[in-house]
Amino acid sequence: MIQPFLMECMLQAAEIDARMTNSCLTPVVGPLLPKDANGLPCKDMWKYHTLTGMLGNLQGTSCPKISMAVHQCAQFNNDPKLCHKHAMKQICKYLLKTSDKGLIYVLDMSCSIEGHQMTLCILNQSYQELAL
């Protein structure tokens, strides 16, 4: 499962031109992303929150390899610094290299989903008794 439209939107939000940018081999540069309280603030308007949400969606659905890097960046949504912007761009550049990769879901017909109506009836009866 790949999500090319979401990746395209992310690259636009990160202001990365796929034709002019080199890709990266890893989604992170160092072991942990620091708070960088005395770091340089982002001078330009940048969609940090939007990009964090898009990356969170992508890591949860089709690209779990970027989970740690995305969660490191998501910590700093309230006060992103320039180093956090560079970390986000690093993740996006990694996704450029792996945009044709994704998860493969295999349908297992031996598994089934069972629903039990009785539990819903008991819950409804309990709620009706509370309402009286």
Question: What percent of the chain has pLDDT above 90?
Answer: 0
The model carries a pTM of 0.67
**Residue 79 structural domain:** 4-131
For residue 39, what pLDDT is reported? 79
Total domain count for the chain? 1
pLDDT, average across residues 72-101: 83
pLDDT at 74: 87
What was the pLDDT predicted at 9?
A: 83
What is the secondary structure of 68-79 as a DSSP string?
A: HHHHHHHTTSSS
The string of pLDDT tens digits covering residues 11-70 is 888 888 777 777 777 777 677 777 777 878 777 777 888 888 888 888 888 888 888 888
Spatial separation of the C-alpha atoms in residues 111 and 132, rounded to whole Å: 41
Q: How far apart are CA 89 and CA 109, in angstroms?
A: 41
